[in-house]
């Protein structure tokens, strides 16, 4: 028997009740999920960046993610911004954008999780990647900061209860360990479907070859050489930072 026109049927009522229950549950779970994401730790004991001859790179990670709290979670694929410290033309500290990447879905249990994955990075600027991130580690033997920012993170608690609109900010300290032998990078990383115009690709390739050949003296296939690094927890807290020009000033 069908419900009269304009009057919700049993299925509609059930859906409405389920949605209301979900919203009530979200009010309770969302603050807990945000706290757990905030206290989740990320380490990259093995990470390799393979810059391409295009404004892209391949990033291979063996990550360790510690998930606090009482429950497991499934992180849906999320867009990540990678940045590091740098200086502007006047020598003032600024945050330098390295690029953006999409990290894959991750099923995390309570406690330590080994998560290995490879992803493509759309470089914001090849010159910035080299000058502010790679060269300080592999030429000057310095440690550098790696900022990982996720503006819109969604996860499923217990793999069932979706919690949207979370944010994640992590700070790692990276040091270079070695350079790898040249290798051919799959086209899906160096030549994605939305690749930039030919002029931009040629400019990025020219910058890469000029800077790396001058500073690192790599092989003939330097654009496919990997830069292996180790990124661990940063010991400095940002709680006392005063942010100026996107930089943390203490």
CA 132 to chain centroid: 17
**Angstrom distance (rounded) from CA 103 to CA 119:** 7
pLDDT tens digits for range 192-248 = 865 444 445 555 566 656 555 545 544 443 346 899 999 998 765 443 343 333 444
**Angstrom distance (rounded) from CA 62 to CA 5:** 58
Assess if residue 234 is contained within a domain. Answer: yes
Assess if residue 80 is contained within a domain. Answer: yes
Assess if residue 242 is contained within a domain. Answer: yes
CB 138 within 8 A of CB 48: no
What's the pLDDT score for residue 64? 96
Assess if residue 49 is contained within a domain. Answer: yes
The backbone region for 228, taken as left when phi is positive above 0, alpha when psi lies in -120 to 50, beta otherwise, is: beta
Assess if residue 1 is contained within a domain. Answer: no
CB 101 within 8 A of CB 66: no
Across 122-139, average pLDDT: 91
Assess if residue 3 is contained within a domain. Answer: no
CB 227 within 8 A of CB 134: yes
Q: Convert 75-142 into a string of H (helix), E (strand) and C (coil).
A: ECCEEEEEEEEEECCCCCEEEEEEEEEEECCEEECCEEEEEEEEEEEEECCHHHHHHHHHHHHHCCCC
pTM for this predicted structure: 0.75
Domain containing 68 equals 10-249
Assess if residue 182 is contained within a domain. Answer: yes
Angle, CA of 124, 107 and 185, to the nearest 5°: 40
What's the pLDDT score for residue 207? 60
pLDDT tens digits for range 68-96 = 977 888 999 999 999 999 988 888 999 99
Number of domains present in the structure of the chain: 1
3-state secondary structure of 212: helix
Assess if residue 4 is contained within a domain. Answer: no
State the pairing for strand pair 247-249/93-103: unpaired
CB 36 within 8 A of CB 67: yes
């Amino acid at each position: 028997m069908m419900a009269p026109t304009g009057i919700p049927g049993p299925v509609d009522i059930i859906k409405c009740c389920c949605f209301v229950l979900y919203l009530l549950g979200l009010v309770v779970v969302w603050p807990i999920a945000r706290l757990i994401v905030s206290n989740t730790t990320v380490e990259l004991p093995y990470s390799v960046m393979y810059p391409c001859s295009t404004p892209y790179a391949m990033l291979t990670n063996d990550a360790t993610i510690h998930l606090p709290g009482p429950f497991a979670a499934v992180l849906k694929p999320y867009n990540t911004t990678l940045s590091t410290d740098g200086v502007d033309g006047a020598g003032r500290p600024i945050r330098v954008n390295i690029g953006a990447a999409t990290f894959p879905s991750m099923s995390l249990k309570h406690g330590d999780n080994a998560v290995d994955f490879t992803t493509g990075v759309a470089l914001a600027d090849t010159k910035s990647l080299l000058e502010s991130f790679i060269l300080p580690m592999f030429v000057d033997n310095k440690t550098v900061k790696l900022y990982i920012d996720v503006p819109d993170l969604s996860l499923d608690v217990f793999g069932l209860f979706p919690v949207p609109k979370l944010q994640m900010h992590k700070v790692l300290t990276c040091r270079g360990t070695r350079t790898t032998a040249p290798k051919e990078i799959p086209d899906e990383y160096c030549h994605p479907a939305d690749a930039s115009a030919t002029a931009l690709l040629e400019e990025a390739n020219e910058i890469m070859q000029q800077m790396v050949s001058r500073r690192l003296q790599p092989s003939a296939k330097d654009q496919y050489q990997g830069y292996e690094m180790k990124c661990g927890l940063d010991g400095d807290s940002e709680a006392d930072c005063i942010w100026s020009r996107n930089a943390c000033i203490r």
